[in-house]
Amino acid sequence: MKFTNYIILHAILISFFSAACKKDGSNSSGKLEVTEFLPLSGGANAEIIINGSGFSEGMTVSLNGIPLKIINFNQTAILARIPQRAGSGKIEISNQETTAVSKELFTYNYQTTVSTLAGSQEEGFFNGPGLNATFILTAARAGLDVDANLNVYVTDPGNHCIRKISPAGVVTTLAGNPGVKGYIDGKGGNALFEDPYDVACDDAGNVFVADRRNLRIRKITVDGTVSTYVKTDTVAGIGSTAPYGIGINKKNGFVYYTEWNANGGSICEINANGQAKLIAQVNKPGDIACDGNNDIYVTSNSDHIIKKIDFKTRAVSTYAGTGQPGLHDGALATAAFETPWGLACTAEGNILVAGYGYGQNQPSSNQCIRFIDTKTLQVGTYAGSRDGSVGDQNGDLAIARFNGPTGVAVDKNGTVYVYDKNNNRIRKIVKE
């Protein structure tokens, strides 16, 4: 009822504000007071109507000390616009003599939007400004990561390269010779990869690569020098298997990677000295990530669940998912995923899941990024469709569309990056 009254009042006020203002001019009438305002919540550029008395020329309207633009007013009503990032708080109106404060709080709704950081949607190889750059991401369900300086690193499996996207959105090649596959350590374009699947960054700016067909974990230093960090086919108890996902514990520098093998799959740990060992078995694991408590999370691609590995005991448990493919939000035990792949842990300890984990371009109910709140133990859909529809639309979380989101990363500011595989694009999700 209040919202309906607000719409009616808004229309009426616009029609007579000009006349009323001419009549009332700068003369105030009565005590300066705020009796109510509508709506009680909104985002940037929302218009609110403030009712009260004593409104006059020269007054200011503010929220948390941030001025609101006064669109029109008379002695008893003000039409004002909420500025960006105003936050939640009480409405204040001040004149030369006094200040009136609303009794109720205005709730500011921060807007979160999806945009395209890089990629023209065409397949190819081209460095340059974000939307002009081209990748071949459709070649594999691969991943990305972001460093402390907000540089984004992307595996480009179709070009056998590691690409770098600056905070300004300019794409360059960090390492690898585009279109040339092989196995050579060296600097920049002299190094060769074959089908790199995932990357992880440490706090020193080093980038670790799951170089799948070479059966290697490679390390790229800040200057672009590539070396072999671990030979995955020599780890005891594993055999000759290829690495898929990779993650890093930024507290202790331990690197973790996933492999597929005849037994389903393995999770391996590389300590700070570069020594690798098997720590757990997970069926067809995808990506891997660590939280602030050093615990490890893994997507079990074929089982449609998220696994947790206790850092101290190495005990493996099912953290989220029923094991039945689908999309269902809710409690951890009742939530459903479909071939989940990418993982990222936020600074608050929550978990982002890239929902699409098919190697080929095929339909999926999870054309979206899922969100696991580790405090409420609830799973939600963060961005993208909930009905399996695909596309490349940017905008609000609910209207944005992806086509094969296989990788996800989050930076220190909470900005989320998505490896949008079948769109050949890297997407960016920014909270205002």
The whole-chain average pLDDT of the chain stands at: 92
More confident: 13 or 235: 235
- What is the predicted pLDDT for the residue at 10? 52
Per-residue pLDDT band at 236 (split at 50, 70, 90): confident
What mean pLDDT comes out for the span 155-170? 97
**Residue 378 and residue 333 in contact, taking contact as beta carbons nearer than 8 Å:** no
Which tens digit of pLDDT belongs to each residue from 35-83?
A: 999 999 999 999 999 999 999 999 999 999 999 999 999 999 999 999 9
Q: Rounded to an integer, what distance in angstroms lies between the CA atom of residue 282 and that of residue 325?
A: 17
pLDDT exceeds cutoff 90 at 263? no
Q: Would you state the pLDDT for residue 1?
A: 42
Percent of all residues in the chain with a pLDDT value above 90, rounded to a whole number: 87
**Mean pLDDT in residue range 309-316:** 96
The long-range contacts involving 214-223, CB below 8 angstroms and separated by at least 24 positions, are 214/183, 215/240, 215/241, 215/242, 215/243, 216/183, 216/243, 217/243, 217/246, 217/255, 217/257, 217/270, 217/276, 218/185, 218/191, 218/193, 220/162, 220/174, 220/175, 220/191, 223/187
The β-bridge partners of 420 are 405, 425
As given in the structure block, the two tokens for residue 311 are 């850092």
How large is the average pLDDT for residues 101-113? 94
- Candidates 68, 48, 52; CA nearest to 60 is 68
Q: What is the mean pLDDT of residues 22-35?
A: 66
Identify the band that residue 20 occupies on the pLDDT scale cut at 50, 70 and 90: very low
Q: What is the mean pLDDT of residues 166-191?
A: 97
Read off the pLDDT band of 29 (50, 70, 90): low
Quick: pLDDT tens for 395-415. 999 899 999 999 999 999 999
pLDDT in tens, 327-339: 999 999 999 999 9
Looking at the chain, the whole-number percentage of residues with pLDDT higher than 70 is 93
Higher-pLDDT residue of 253 and 25 is 253
Query: What is the rounded distance in angstroms from the CA atom of residue 248 to the CA atom of residue 238?
Result: 20
At 361 the pLDDT is 86
Q: What is the pLDDT of residue 241?
A: 83
- pLDDT value of position 8: 47
- What one-character DSSP code corresponds to residue 264? S
Residue 22 pLDDT greater than 60, yes or no: no
Q: Determine the Cα–Cα distance for residues 220 and 199; give it in Å rounded to an integer.
A: 10
In 3D space, the residue among 25, 80, 74 whose CA is nearest the CA of residue 53 turns out to be: 74
pLDDT of 165 higher than 60: yes
Is pLDDT above 80 for 33?
yes
Whole-angstrom Cα Rg for the chain: 26
- What pLDDT score does 186 carry? 98
Predicted TM-score (pTM) of the model is 0.85
Q: Is the pLDDT of residue 243 over 90?
A: yes
Residue 148 has pLDDT above 80, yes or no: yes
- Taking the C-alpha atoms of residue 266 and residue 237, their distance in angstroms, rounded to an integer, is 9
Which value, to the nearest 10 degrees, does the dihedral of the CA atoms of residues 372, 378, 382, 386 take? 120
Mean pLDDT computed over 252-280: 93
What does the pLDDT read at residue 394?
Answer: 97
Q: Name residues whose C-beta falls within 8 Å of residue 89's C-beta, 6 or more positions apart in sequence.
A: 63, 64, 105, 106, 108
